[in-house]
Structure 1
Amino acid sequence: MWTPDVLDGFEQLTLDLEPDEEGDVVATVARRIEPGETDAGVDLLYVHGWNDYFFQAHLADFWESLGVRFHALDLRKYGRSLRDGQTPNYVADLGTYDEDIAAALAAIGHAGETPSPRRLLLMGHSTGGLVLSLWASRHPGRAAGVVLNAPWLELQAREAGRRVLEPGVRAAAAINPRGPVVYYDRGLYSRAISAEFDGEWTYDTEWRSNHGRRPTPAWMAAILKGHDQVAHGLAIDAPVLVLLSARSTMPTRWTEETQRTDTVLDVVGVARRVPNLGPVTTLVWVDGALHDVTLSAAPVREVVWRETARWFRGYVTADATRRDAADDGAAPPPTPWWRRALAAATSRRGGARRVA
């Protein structure tokens, strides 16, 4: 049953999942109670990042302005789905989230065994971008497009650091999967986004801690495994848009740059992995953007909206128009190069441009 959500104008649905060693497990979907009047025949499922949950109502506003029906998924042990006695954000295998995603898609009318007349768009931020990238690669034919907002596709120390860390992390995960991991967060990113400090956004600090959450060995091992899979190449068979800040800054002290750069990820290391996602990738560098590019300053957000709308109209709605014309018996225009590449799956080139 859908019930009122913590966000005004939204409602939520609790999804019961298979219990794990900590007891009952749920995921949660949130959506607008009264969606916009325009309908492009597209449903979107959004997945948050680590130490995060869905609170970005303005993101729903943007997608609904394009006629997209917006839905957000709080994964198990995050945000709306966190229950007493659970280890926050914990999972030992990113594939575990397949159950959360399957339950959410079924709830919004996209069950795998029942084809929907509506197209499916996926959007993920940071760790959610990694999770959805892996999912889309394992589930060809499900999504019409994938939007990744600063996806965590590679470790900040890049491949060399990952190779050094991986054996120790795996050993620790085998011995004490929920044990402590050395972690320090000065809270600079939170200072840049929170209305309590120098930002403009309000969120529940019980669900999104201003100083992060200490990761566990098993969770970290799962992340490193996901990075390794991306490094070896995925096979996402839908157009992919990746939005990244133009620069990264080490989060050591508060400066003006911490308000205009990604202080969480190494954007260059992430960008190098974008062509590995699939045959059709578009990379957009956004000057002045924070880690979550949709939480950047208003002029920067306008760039994000413009570039995302351009991609959406070019790859998602335009392709649907082609299919509708073919269904009506009209002669469709020649197949574009990216669709031929998608079918052949022989090219792994990515387009990139810097915008300001």
Structure 2
Amino acid sequence: MKDILFFLLFTSTLLFSNAQFQEHKIDVSNYEATLTYQTVKSSKKAILYIHGFNDYFFNTQFAQKFLDQGYAFYALDLHGYGRNLKSKERVFSFKDIQEFDDEITQAITFIKNQGHTNITLYGYSQGGLIATLYANKYRNIDQLILDSAFFDFAFSPFLESYVLPLVAKVGKYFPNLFLPSSAPNVFGQTLHKDFNGEWDFDMNLKYTTTNAPIYFEWIHAIYSAQQQLHAGLDLQIPVLSLYSDKSYNEQSDVKYHHISDLVLDVNDIETYSKKLNQDASLTTLTPIKDGMHGVTFSKPKVRQEAYRVIFNWLQTQN
């Protein structure tokens, strides 16, 4: 009997893991977003993942972890990103973070129409900032998970106090100005298997050889959103904020590149994660030892610990 049960479990797991992701296009005004998803039969629980800057959903291993735990998995490629990149659009740029509200709302409506009643929004890096302000405004999700959330720029105090506000103001009136870069994308190359990483993704959708252009309008949009967050929010839902236990910059010794956050200052993430709920007990802060920017991109043992934290936390919420 045990052998039969094991065979059935193994077979169903194999079939499940090989199931294909589906796509659903979301039309928003002059934009298009793409929802990539895989459902779990009879499951009421769903994850909605929002990617970061210069990014798109590609990590099917990440998705499979949630599917294996009985969560339907949905990932939203925002307009101007990933599967929606079009030559007529400025890549990875936007005027206001609220531009994404409609496509996120449509994605959540689509998820609920599939029969899922408990939705966890999961935001990575810039997606963490977008997800946080969305959750504060709409109150239509049940939990929020943040991974290396982009809650502040990792600049010096002088740059953050004087230069950044000026550049952000310029971006409001001169949105087409941008900072081109032919420098290598060190963090991207830390991830991709063709360079120093283990992950495979389309480098036409996630710029890796060089950095992505930075538009002044994007700086204005991000800075404005961060200022709103810095003033304090009250999401009134459980939040799990994950981040590395240390930061190094891209010019640091390569030995630190896979054991730290190369993009953001983790102290900023921790500081501003405390401003998400007036009831502090609703927010759980968890630094992950030797985590990368995106703790589930970290070395296998490190991301295994991150997944342990995530699913233990989710279990306490359900």
Q: What secondary structure does 1:122 align onto?
A: strand
* 1:52-92 Cα shifts (integer Å, max 9, x gaps): 00001011111112211110000001001112211011210
Q: What's the TM-score, normalizing by structure 1?
A: 0.79
Q: Matches of residues 275-286 of structure 1 in structure 2 within 5 Å?
A: 275-278=274-277, 279=279, 280-286=282-288
Contact 1:186–1:251 (Cα < 8 Å) also in 2: no
Q: What's the TM-score, normalizing by structure 2?
A: 0.88
The 1-side partners of 2:62 and 2:178 are apart by 34
* 1:244-281 Cα shifts (integer Å, max 9, x gaps): 01110111145211111110111111111111011211
* Aligned residue number for residue 129 of structure 1: 128
RMSD: 2.1
Q: Give yes or no for the alignment of 1:84 onto 2:87.
A: yes
Mind listing any 5+ residue stretches in structure 2 that lack a counterpart?
1-17
Contact 1:36–1:65 (Cα < 8 Å) also in 2: no
The 1-side partners of 2:151 and 2:145 are apart by 13
- What one-letter code is carried by the residue in structure 1 that aligns with 2:29? E
Q: Matches of residues 21-170 of structure 1 in structure 2 within 5 Å?
A: 25-32=31-38, 35-36=39-40, 40-109=43-112, 118-140=117-139, 142-157=140-155, 161-170=159-168
* 1:185-231 Cα shifts (integer Å, max 9, x gaps): 54221222111012110000011001331111111011011111111
Contact 1:158–1:269 (Cα < 8 Å) also in 2: no
Mind listing any 5+ residue stretches in structure 1 that lack a counterpart?
1-6, 20-24, 318-356
Deviation at 1:40, TM superposition (A): 4.6
* Aligned residue number for residue 306 of structure 1: 308
Q: What secondary structure does 2:178 align onto?
A: coil
The 2-side partners of 1:167 and 1:297 are apart by 36
Q: Matches of residues 242-261 of structure 1 in structure 2 within 5 Å?
A: 242-261=241-260
The 2-side partners of 1:175 and 1:89 are apart by 19
* Aligned residue number for residue 265 of structure 1: 264
* Aligned residue number for residue 17 of structure 1: 28
* 1:14-44 Cα shifts (integer Å, max 9, x gaps): 111102xxxxx10000012xx445x552111
Q: What secondary structure does 2:29 align onto?
A: strand
Contact 1:55–1:203 (Cα < 8 Å) also in 2: yes
Q: Number of residue pairs matched?
A: 297
Deviates more, 1:44-53 or 1:274-283: 274-283
The 2-side partners of 1:237 and 1:158 are apart by 32
The 2-side partners of 1:43 and 1:172 are apart by 40
